[in-house]
A = this chain, B = another copy of it.
Amino acid sequence: MTTQVIVLNGGSSSGKSGIVRCLQEVLPDPWLAFGVDSSVESLPAKMRGSKEGITFAADGGVSVGAGFGALDAAWTEGIAAMARAGARIIVDDVFLGGPHSQERWQKALAGLAVLWVGVKCASAVAEGREIAREDRVRGMAASQAHLVHEGVRYGLEVDTTHTEALACAHTIAAHV
């Protein structure tokens, strides 16, 4: 069955966004890309930094409230609906809830052909990239590097520690 949705899961600064852009380049058909960043940007500003919404602590910790959860569930349903309407979709996410985060997507994407991709990166390398990009709260890379992969099952894993985004994208594209 032809892949309809590619879900990339990895910690902050693991290199997901670069892989997504390279995938959009190397895959012959057009794929729409949606990520956790665009999801957060669609929220009201007042929910970014509130208990009900999503909070980025100074130490890199991320907390989400009930209000965010409900909106996020609706957002996930919408992305699934785009795939059912015929669009090829790439999603990048940070499974802060590990296997529970994956189940949420599995339910929403039921009946669709999904390729689950783990994007790994050595914690120290991800931390260095966090410093080099400077648009992230420090500490997110380190606190998420292992956490987001615990108990999650993949069809494919890539590791950006020593492999460029374009090479990772070619590996993934070969499995689509």
Closest B residue, CB atoms, query A165: B132
The number of chain A residues touching the other chain, given as a range, is 35 or more
Cβ contacts under 8 Å, A18 to chain B: 129, 132-133
Cβ contacts under 8 Å, A71 to chain B: 30, 32, 87
Determine how close the nearest CB of chain B comes to the CB of A142; give it in whole angstroms: 13
Cβ contacts under 8 Å, A25 to chain B: 44-46, 131
Instruction: Tell which of B32, B33, B84, B132 touches A22, judged by Cβ atoms closer than 8 Å.
Output: B132
Docked-complex contact A128 and B167, CB < 8 angstroms: yes
Interface residues in A1-58 (C-beta closer than 8 Å to B): 17-19, 21-22, 24-25, 30-34, 38, 41-47, 52-53
Docked-complex contact B44 and A30, CB < 8 angstroms: yes
Docked-complex contact A32 and B43, CB < 8 angstroms: yes
Closest B residue, CB atoms, query A86: B74
Closest B residue, CB atoms, query A82: B78
Cβ contacts under 8 Å, A117 to chain B: none
Cβ contacts under 8 Å, A70 to chain B: 86-87
A151 within 8 A of B: no
| Residue of A17, A31, A71, A132 with highest tally of chain B CB at under 10 A | A132
Docked-complex contact B44 and A166, CB < 8 angstroms: no
A79 within 8 A of B: yes
- 9 A–B contacts, CB within 8 A, in A order: A33-B42, A38-B41, A70-B87, A74-B85, A74-B86, A77-B85, A80-B81, A129-B166, A132-B165
